[in-house]
Amino acid sequence: MKIKLIIFDLDGTLIDTLSDIEHIFNYVLIQNGYQERSKSFYKNNIGNGFENLLRKCLPDYFNGDFDLLANSVRDRYESHLNTKTIIFDGITTVLECLKKKKVKIAVISNKLHSLAVRSVKKYFNAYEIKVIGAEGGFPRKPSPDSTFHMLQHFNCHSSAALFVGDSIVDIKTAQNANVSSVGVLWGNGAKEDFKKQKSDFILESPQDILDILDSIE
């Protein structure tokens, strides 16, 4: 069946936010007397919401006010969002092609909804993209609820959609919604992890998304 809708993850899939995440979290950790983490640590642990990432950053002996730290991270995100973020090479070309092909585009992110909307508006305002982020009215990925909503919104059968992301959470979300899953390797994902999770497709570059469309049409 021809693909009518592509749902993208945001961070690590459309935009490279790793440098911003490293800066924001390390700033809060250092300000509160905790050890900063490496970029590789963040690369290996992001994708399941900032609260879960913060918990992984903190030492085992932590017994302080987690909500206070989480609010500090949230505030830092608000004031320093997209400072060092860039669009991955090739993404804009893919979105242009999808627009010409009249394939609908959506974003489902575990980033806070307000921040996800801001990022999409800043980098992809030329495209009509419906966005759902964390605290945007649906449970976070890997719950399929937000994906079901997108399918309903675009009047699209699950067999005519793709879910594209760089984490196992994205693959599980697609599988939970009975949508074809696409794991991408230009973000933070690892090929072996995608293979273990039985992702339908594993892609090396954004251009490969268009190859999937051509093979299905």
pLDDT in tens, 70-105: 999 999 988 998 999 999 999 999 999 999 999 999
Distance CA 122, CA 65 (A): 33
* Averaged pLDDT, 39-51: 88
Per-residue confidence (pLDDT) for residue 167, from 0 to 100: 94
Same domain, 119 and 146: yes
Q: Which two tokens stand for residue 169?
A: 């959470």
Shared domain for 71 and 90, answered yes or no, is no
pLDDT beyond 90 at 46: no
- Given this model, what pLDDT does residue 136 score? 83
Please indicate, yes or no, whether residues 172 and 138 belong to a single structural domain of this protein. yes
Going by C-alpha positions, the residue among 162, 117, 157 that lies closest to residue 136 is 117
Is there a single domain that holds both residue 164 and residue 106?
Answer: yes
Contacts of 133 (CB under 8 A, 6+ apart): 10, 108, 109, 110, 111, 112, 113, 114, 115, 116, 117
Say which residue, 129 or 45, is predicted with more confidence.
129
Q: What band does 172 get if pLDDT is binned at 50, 70 and 90?
A: very high
d(CA 138, CA 147): 10
**Same-domain status, 23 and 12:** no
Residue 70: give the domain boundaries. 18-80
Instruction: Copy the structure tokens of residue 74.
Output: 């949230």
Pair 160, 97 in one domain: yes
Q: Which residue has the tokens 């004031």?
A: 79
What's the rounded mean pLDDT across residues 210-216?
A: 89
Domain finish residue from 62, 80, 98: 80
pLDDT in tens, 1-10: 799 999 999 9
Q: Residue 144 is part of a domain; what is its CATH number?
A: 3.40.50.1000
Are residues 192 and 89 located together in one domain of the fold?
yes
Looking at the fold, whether 97 and 201 belong to one and the same domain comes out as: yes
In a shared domain, residues 204 and 111: yes
Question: What 8-state DSSP symbol labels residue 144?
Answer: S
Q: Is the domain of 48 the same as that of 90?
A: no
Q: Are residues 104 and 42 in the same domain?
A: no
Does residue 47 sit in the same domain as residue 135?
A: no
Other CB atoms within a 10 A radius of the CB of residue 117 amount to 18
Q: What is the pTM (predicted TM-score) of this model? A: 0.92
For residue range 112-139, what is the model confidence (pLDDT) as tens digits?
899 999 999 999 999 999 999 998 899 9
Confidence of residue 217 (pLDDT cuts 50, 70, 90): low
